[in-house]
A and B are shown apart, each in its own frame.
Chain A
Amino acid sequence: SQQGEEDPQALSIQEGENATMNCSYKTSINNLQWYRQNSGRGLVHLILIRSNEREKHSGRLRVTLDTSKKSSSLLITASRAADTASYFCATIDDKIIFGKGTRLHILP
């Protein structure tokens, strides 16, 4: 079964607004990664957060990790049209397991 489960499944927001996506998982992990996928293409790695980290930033991205709640969130600030994509969390223990993703649509 899937390890990571993203929430919401789909999200539409106005350009310039912030987008928040959540990921919950079931078992212990070594680290958690977020990826972006545009229109059925290959995935692009966004950010990796280790199990002993609580928050990480990369440009307009902010990721948090709460291992006690087995959850992570991805915040994209000041969204742009180019952010329209599917976003996946991937939990890593001995193998990497992806969730089903959140489809983000940025409205002009």
Chain B
Amino acid sequence: KAGVTQTPRYLIKTRGQQVTLSCSPISGHRSVSWYQQTPGQGLQFLFEYFSETQRNKGNFPGRFSGRQFSNSRSEMNVSTLELGDSALYLCASSEGQGVHEQYFGPGTRLTVT
């Protein structure tokens, strides 16, 4: 099976802009989770989607949002970008909701200038 794919791999945006990142899970996986990784804060959980519904959410402001489509593909959006949003954004898929083994994509490196 193909692994988790994320697009784009690299992105440069300026403050105030908005960005949409895409994640395609492994075929058959219905759960998609998003994480933000920075050197200072490490890996932080953003949200989890299962069957097109957000099941869990981390402690991020409302500028961070996401959605999941019927084919399990997911997108996350960040509006009004800030310099601190520069990070590696990782998507992970799993067969079920919550506690299953997760398969990670290569990530999208976002740089906000």
A residues in contact (CB < 8 Å) with B: 2, 30-31, 33, 35, 40-45, 48, 88, 92, 94-101
Contacts and interface: CB of A to CB of B under 8 A. Distances in A.
Interface stretch (B14-22, B40-48, B65-73): B40-48
Please indicate which of the listed interface residues A31, A41, A43, A99 has the most CB atoms of chain B within 10 Å of its own CB. Answer: A43
Please indicate which of the listed interface residues B43, B98, B102, B104 has the most CB atoms of chain A within 10 Å of its own CB. Answer: B43
A44 B88 CA distance: 15
B25 interface: no
B42 A94 contact: no
Closest 8 pairs (CB-CB, A-B): A42-B104, A98-B43, A100-B42, A43-B104, A92-B99, A95-B56, A42-B106, A45-B101
A107 B92 CA distance: 31
Given A30-B99, A40-B88, A98 B42 contact: yes
Contacts of A92: 98-99
B35 interface: yes
B98 A41 contact: no
Given A42-B90, A95-B56, A96-B102, 12 more contacts: A31-B99, A40-B37, A43-B102, A45-B101, A45-B102, A48-B101, A96-B45, A96-B99, A97-B45, A98-B35, A98-B44, A99-B42
Given A31-B99, A92-B98, A96-B33, A44 B104 contact: yes
A93 B35 CA distance: 17
Contacts of B43: 43, 88, 98, 100-101
